[in-house]
Amino acid sequence: MREPLGLILSGGLGSRMGGALKSDLLLGGATLLARVADRLEPQVAGLVVNSNVPVATKLPVVADTTPENFGPLAGILAGLDWAREQNATHIVSVAVDTPFFPCDLVPQLLMAGLAHPEGLAVAATTDGLHGTFGIWPVSLRDPLSAFLADGQRKVSTFTQAQNAAIAQFPDTSPPSFFNINTNDDLNTAAQWL
């Protein structure tokens, strides 16, 4: 397997943030999108952003191809389509609202993926699975499309059905997979910087 491509999931509605575009939120003088891109870029061969609205970035942006907001899996499907166009075999997905994810995310996912026939693995801590953080083989594009066409949306349901390997990460402070859903979360993240 060649080095995977990176996918930043930024397609959320930001409903708990009053409709604010999470990718544009400032944390310590930089947008969440810039922080996440800077953290992921050294670990992957290239980056793309999944968003259904215009975002301020020079990175390529891909929108969901599903007619409704089907959540993160629709973004992963769009990322897999983009990766296939780039002749890539795998993508690693991260969420734009989770700026403290591990700096060794990709190597750990790659190692865990060795236990899966196609290299599928998702992140976990003692808090549970963090399914938007995973390595996804492009070969799963059609099963994922069928899953969404069937009205399914839940990441854990899909990854369990595909027998995804688990990359177990240690508990840290601040929590590696802390995601920013509210203004209080944004203030907490700012204190941790």
Which residues belong to the annotated binding site for Mg(2+)? 97
- Longest Cα–Cα distance of the chain, Å, equals 43
Q: Smallest Cα–Cα separation from 5: which of 62, 43, 53, 60?
A: 43
Using the structure block, give the residue that is written with the tokens 């509210």. 182
- Other C-beta atoms closer than 10 Å to the C-beta of 105 total 25
44, 6 contact by CB (below 8 A): yes
Would you state the torsion angle of the CA atoms of residues 65, 70, 74, 75, taken in this order, to the nearest 10 degrees? 100
Q: What's the CA gap between 160 and 105, in Å, rounded?
A: 20
Binding-site entries for GTP: 9-11, 22, 50, 64, 97
Q: How many whole angstroms from its chain centre is CA 96?
A: 7
In this structure, the number of other CB atoms found within 10 A of the CB of residue 33 comes to: 24
Q: Which residues are annotated as a binding site?
A: 9-11, 22, 50, 64, 97
Report the distance separating Cα 78 and Cα 9, nearest Å. 10
Bridge partners (DSSP) of residue 30 are 27
